[in-house]
Structure 1
Amino acid sequence: MNNKSVTLKASEETRSTIKKNYIQYASPFKGEYIIFKALKNGLIITAYENKKGEFFKIIFSGNHALEEALKYDVNATYNIPKKVVVEKWLDEGPQIGSDEVGVGDLLLPMIVVSAYVSKEDVIELKRLGIHDSKKMSDETILKIGPLLCQKFAFSKLTLPNAKMSDEVLKGENLNTLKAKMHNRALLNLKKKFPIVKNIYIDQFVSENTYYKYLKNEKEILSDLVFKTKGESSFPSIALA
């Protein structure tokens, strides 16, 4: 069971809507200030009375807590326990990073995304629980994906499966295609944020081999930092 929780400050209207939507899962409760509690497949919703006359506090905890909370507040994020030290990335300053998906999957396109992260963005990424997408549920990714696209700057390149197959049949190396897409995606953001010095890439080949793949490109972004499993080391790669 997921132990993370999300706290919402809800108006009377939102509180009523939440209670209506989960009334069939209502559960007995104890507590001086609790006014409603529901249990749904490992998800716990607890509503507290409005003591100060402003907002009701509603806590979503357990399975799919963030996904459910986002239905009522698009800015909902995981609570960060005060006594828990949040795992730190190797660099939490302004940066650009890139990663890819779809490589090796015959049914999906190859997609490369680069993302820009400021120092302030790192705080938000931690609040959203983003560190390594491989450790996040599909439901969470699908829910917060649109929010990330609105809040953060990124460049996305897609190579359709048919085009990728054609290139391979012509003798093109998949890693060459990947390197060219990473280079272009990173260049796109570097031009938008020219003062950014730290640029990271999730390493899939050696640095020398990567640049060999790009030898015929008109523009090549150099001075990259290559890191295997980079999503665990740099927030820009984790976001990408």
Structure 2
Amino acid sequence: MSSFAEYVLGIKDKLNHGGLRTGAEKPVPYGLRIDVEDGGTTVPVTLYEGKKGFSAVVAGKAGPLKETVEGLLRGAPPVGNTVGKPYGFEDLTGYEAGWIGTDESGKGDVFGPLVVAAVAVKPDTVAALTGIGVKDCKQLSDKKAGELAGQIRRICAGQYQELLLLPERYNSLYAAMKSEGKNLNHLMAWAHARVLEDVLEKVPCRFAIADQFADVRFVESRLMARGRAIVLVQKPRAEQNIAVAAASVLARDAFLRNLALLSQRFGLELPKGAGSQVNEAIPRFVAAHGKAALKEVAKIHFKTFEGVL
């Protein structure tokens, strides 16, 4: 049987994936009270741990938010006009048939590739992805991300795309962009637009959502005919949307697997991130393979390489 802490996390995930935000928490006798919010409305949900197991009690005034919370906890679809809509689509209609989410991994990692993924979801796949616990990869262990990635690829077969830019290709593209007076955001926009277009070729869709990492026009300007015909939502923390969360898991899994392959190829462990472990690994790599080989394993525009190259 799962622990009460796991039960609480499961309830919060279900509410978050239903488009709601979980706020303040307060311990109560035999349980925990959580405020569930949507805009200016709040409904308290109390989770109890008893001899017969776990339970949830939804309090507050009757209304769309309370109905939605009760429905989500029963496993029913959200109700109401804006309450319970997927993150990013609160003010939109017509997305219900399905939409696409994009996300990336490796952008802030010195070693390893940049991976950008796109996933198309429909009502049945939304339910399936939610059911297996898909969430923003930053909330998952590497092992769990790998397990979920395999399940996502099965559930969304033929409805996703992964763009892998190994360091050598990434560095070449970055240099080309820089020579045109562009920066990393332009490269990111190109990559997001490409995977979005690739999925649109497989799955006709009218809506898409991505994390807003720069001026919204960056991605829009890179879209081709198919992409320009859709409604593209760009919002901070877009990983709260299940399609973007699924894309984040696929991208993270592909990043980790390819980082491991590079480590194996060069016989040295290439660490994640951009911290002290990376700073220590660079001279070891140079001693073993020379400076010229860095472009094959690392994103050499990082300030980490000032004075090295």
**Would you say same fold, with TM above 0.5?**
yes
Q: Which residue of 3, 7, 13 maps to 2:6?
A: 3
- Give the TM-score normalised by the residue count of structure 1: 0.58
Q: Which residue of 184, 203, 208 maps to 1:199?
A: 208
Question: For the structure 1 residues 221 and 154, does the alpha-carbon distance in structure 2 shift closer, same or farther, using more than 3 Å as the test?
Answer: same
> Residue 136 of structure 2 contacts residue 239 of structure 2 at CA under 8 Å; is this kept in 1?
yes
CA deviation vs aligned residue, 1:24-59 (integer Å, no higher than 9, x gap)? xxxxxxxxxxxxxxxxxxxxxxxxxxxxxxxxxxxx
Q: What does 1:23-172 correspond to in 2, within 5 Å?
A: 82=74, 89-90=86-87, 91=89, 93=96, 94-152=98-156, 153-170=159-176, 171=178
Q: What SS class does the counterpart of residue 187 from structure 1 fall into?
A: helix
> Residue 106 of structure 1 contacts residue 161 of structure 1 at CA under 8 Å; is this kept in 2?
no
Higher helix share: 2
Shift of 1:88: 6.3
Question: For the structure 1 residues 219 and 157, does the alpha-carbon distance in structure 2 shift closer, same or farther, using more than 3 Å as the test?
Answer: farther
Distance 2:145 2:224 in 1: 35
Distance 2:74 2:226 in 1: 44
Q: What SS class does the counterpart of residue 106 from structure 1 fall into?
A: coil
Cα RMSD after superposing both structures: 3.0
* 1:184 equivalenced with 2:194 (yes/no): yes
> Residue 98 of structure 1 contacts residue 236 of structure 1 at CA under 8 Å; is this kept in 2?
yes
Shift of 1:114: 0.4
Q: What SS class does the counterpart of residue 221 from structure 1 fall into?
A: helix
* Structure 2 unaligned blocks of 5 or more: 9-71, 79-83, 90-94, 248-309
Q: What SS class does the counterpart of residue 148 from structure 2 fall into?
A: helix
Q: In structure 2, give the amino acid aligned to 1:225.
A: V
> Residue 95 of structure 1 contacts residue 197 of structure 1 at CA under 8 Å; is this kept in 2?
yes
Q: What does 1:189-228 correspond to in 2, within 5 Å?
A: 189-194=199-204, 196-212=205-221, 214=222, 221-222=227-228, 223-228=231-236
Shift of 1:136: 1.9
Shift of 1:138: 2.1
* 1:229 equivalenced with 2:233 (yes/no): no
- Give the TM-score normalised by the residue count of structure 2: 0.46
CA deviation vs aligned residue, 1:54-84 (integer Å, no higher than 9, x gap)? xxxxxxxxxxxxxxxxxxxxxxxxxx9659x
Question: For the structure 1 residues 192 and 166, does the alpha-carbon distance in structure 2 shift closer, same or farther, using more than 3 Å as the test?
Answer: closer
